[in-house]
Amino acid sequence: MSLKITVIGAGSVVFAKNLLGDVLQFPELSHATICLMDIDPARLKVATIMAQRMAAKLGVTAKIEATLDQRQAIKGARYVICTIQVGGYRPSTVIDFEIPKKYGLRQTIADTLGVGGIFRGLRTIPVMTRIAEDIAAVGAPGCLLLNYTNPMAMCCWGVARAVGIPHVGLCHSVQSTSSQLAGYLGLSYDKVTYLVAGINHMAFFLRFEYAGQDAYPLLFRKLEDPTFTHDRVRFEMMRRSGYFVTESSEHQSEYLPYFIPHGEEIISKFDIPLDEYLRRCEGVITTWKATEAQLLGNNGEIEVGPQTHEYGSFIIHSSETGVSRTIYGNVPNTGLITNLPSGCCVEVPCLIDSRGLQPIHVGALPPQLAMLCQSNISTQALTVEAALTRKREHIYHAVMSDPNTAATLTLDSIWAMCDEMIEAHQKIGFLGAFAPTVQGTGRSFAGTGDRVIVEIAYADNGNGFVAKVSNGRSASMALSLTVTLRSWEGKVLAQESLRVRTAAGKTTSEPISLQVPSAVYKGFRVTAEGSLDEVLLVNLEVAPRKVLHAGGKKPALEISLAGTPAVKGWIDGIGANLQLRFEVDDSKITLHELPWNGSSLELFFAPENSGAALQTILAAGKGKERPRFVYSYVKPIPGARLRQSANRSGYEIEAMVPKASLGLPPDAQAFLLDCYVNLSALGDAHGGGRASLSGSFEAHRGAAFYSRVELSPISKRTK
């Protein structure tokens, strides 16, 4: 039987494009029949043309079909990918926000839990079960439903109870957050390992390790860093529960009773963006025509990016080829997490190979995490009960149990709000002796209070290295270290032995005589080995220098945050000046005190063959505020001329500045550069964060991490 993959809800064109691009870039899947289905003929037409052009661009033989008939689309399919949104943004999502707001109930995203998530579930579960029934009736034997639709846990639970077909719910929270945490800590992502379990959007990193060692102490140390202001809700919950959760601070703030119900001071303290989803949806809707044109491309051309970190294509590829992979999926709890209810939808690691989806047994969660999950599971269970039994009382019960709602409204208000929302949606025809703990936290093991942390870092002058030893124990200690300098390929260049003494609760910095290699552009590693088992070692890695060819039609500079494109742009020379232009994907431009907060780019410049770096800040303007290009101490850069404009999901900023003002020779045709991006909000329903061009946050130590920018010849400059 030929391979048929069906996409239900193909009108969510941008997401469908990513999924199909992932699938078609596997040679073993490139011959498949791709069937697109949507209830919107116009969007389906766009999706079909987009898919056909992608197949042509990739040079594959995939057959592209399209239909408005759901049953016909599913007939014979081995995989059905679901990306629907029942009721759409307007009117349904608007109702989910505006009616609760009348009663004093405020939300951020409202698509997974809360009163908005409940009513989205009531609208969506019946549609999902009809899809599952069609899969059972006319899909290929063993057809697998890959669900991307929210509310994830409610939809999957409803499918499991009502029909029981093979299915898995897919989200990118685990991939994105693990990458984000590595970035926050400056760790190499390929040395980070983890174990995650819980429920969708409230799964926890039970283990987060660097080079095989517990890296949680590094996360807890961020709690004491006054300059670190990212993900405030999630880090606060880590402080209290002992573990970091997978989904964004926006989501967490409305899944729990500790934040939004307690007024503007708490909302401001934890930087909670109320009504965030409405703003983002409005931005996408107003630019749909431009997005459509971009998807279809000019003159029949279309851009196909590299495979994303979404799990869907990997599941299909492993099932078809037998290549073994582990992903994180949302599946029925058949004893996988022993202290969560049987049958609820849990998020756990799953093995995928030719035998299909095989969820992995996790066991019991720490009891405080089970408590947090259960607070959401009760709401999910009652929503599924209401949707499947059609008993109205369970709608009230579901909203009663929601943590944010219960902490905000009286029972009378809950009942009145539910009645109004039911009527509004019906009118449109869519419903654990005691172990010591780390002070100030809920973590009872291996916290910062009982560990020794050794970090290899640049010396303050940028010309050598130091070993920073933090002794979290209650007694002084001596530590023997062997520090090795290696080339990027692994060749030993130099080695030194150190013995470091540190007092209890203190941090000691011991100079290392090894010097920065002269050919830093080739990359190097400085590693340490210790004499104690209870030592967390963090090594220094400087990757080979990137070369950026400035100017031309293609962006010379691209930066992603947690796998999502965040900034692209170019830098070029015009005589004694530099021209810089960046497109920044930041849908929530905030203005705070420079240089660390708000939406900004930190640009580090250095001449070639120099370790002397100049830090500058290119900060966005908002409202009547104008953009600013300043030195790190907020002094305006002489001669800089700026221009800023809004785009679909952020802003574009352009600057013309003398090279000399950036510490560069006026006739320089090449220089060294690193760039940090500070974002307030990136992507649909996700918080912002910090990322860098080099992948490191050590640019202020010197130019070893920098890329080399080669200015384009005059004839090839962008005009």
pLDDT at 683: 64
What CATH number matches the domain at 547-716, 3.40.640.10, 2.60.40.1190, 3.30.420.480, 3.40.50.300?
A: 2.60.40.1190
Inter-residue long-range contacts of 543-548, CB under 8 Å, 24+ positions, other chains counted: 543/488, 543/694, 543/695, 543/705, 544/488, 545/520, 545/521, 545/706, 545/707, 545/708, 546/693, 546/694, 546/707, 546/708, 547/707, 547/708, 547/710, 548/673, 548/707, 548/708, 548/709, 548/710
The first and second tokens of residue 623, run together, are 């409202």
Backbone angles phi, psi at 261, to 5 degrees: -65, -10
DSSP state letters, 212-239: TEE-HHHHHHHTT-TT--SSHHHHHHHH
What's the rounded Cα separation, in Å, for the pair 464 and 466?
7
pLDDT at 447: 45
Q: What is the dihedral of CA 230, 232, 237, 239, to 10 degrees?
A: 70
What's the rounded Cα separation, in Å, for the pair 704 and 604?
12
* Helical packing angle, 13-24 and 312-321, nearest 10°: 30
Contact 330/345 with Cβ under 8 angstroms? yes
Q: Smallest Cα–Cα separation from 32: which of 458, 287, 319, 436?
A: 319
* Helical packing angle, 152-162 and 114-138, nearest 10°: 40
What's the rounded Cα separation, in Å, for the pair 260 and 254?
7
Instruction: Give the residue extent of every domain in the chain.
Output: 451-542, 547-716
- Which is it for strands 614-619 and 557-561: parallel, antiparallel or unpaired? unpaired
pLDDT at 554: 61
pLDDT at 689: 82
The first and second tokens of residue 143, run together, are 């057809």
Is 172 in the active site? yes
90 in helix, strand or coil?
helix
What's the rounded Cα separation, in Å, for the pair 346 and 147?
14
Burial code (b: 16+ CB inside 10 Å, e: under 16) for 7-33 equals: bbbbbbbebbbbbbbbbbbbeebeebb
For the chain, residues with pLDDT lower than 50 are 432, 434, 444-448, 715-719
pLDDT at 132: 98
Fold match between domain 451-542 and domain 547-716 = yes
What's the rounded Cα separation, in Å, for the pair 82 and 561?
26
pLDDT at 137: 98
CATH class of the domain comprising 451-542: mainly beta
What's the rounded Cα separation, in Å, for the pair 538 and 192?
12
Distance of CA 572 to CAs 567, 575, 583, Å? 17, 10, 15
pLDDT at 556: 79
- Which is it for strands 144-147 and 167-169: parallel, antiparallel or unpaired? parallel
Residue 448, exposed/middle/buried by CB under 10 A (0-12, 13-18, 19+)?
buried
What's the rounded Cα separation, in Å, for the pair 124 and 297?
33
Contact 279/587 with Cβ under 8 angstroms? yes
DSSP state letters, 162-224: HT--SEEE--SHHHHHHHHHHHHHT--GGGEEEEEEEETTEEEEEEEEETTEE-HHHHHHHTT
What's the rounded Cα separation, in Å, for the pair 402 and 376?
7
> H-helix or E-strand containing 421?
helix 411-427
- Amino acid identity, residue 525? R
Distance of CA 163 to CAs 121, 125, 132, 173, 197, Å? 17, 12, 6, 27, 25
pLDDT at 291: 77
Say which of 31, 167, 172, 425 is annotated catalytic: 172
pLDDT at 446: 45
Q: Smallest Cα–Cα separation from 675: which of 579, 586, 568, 585?
A: 568
DSSP letter for 576, please: T
The first and second tokens of residue 134, run together, are 């069609």
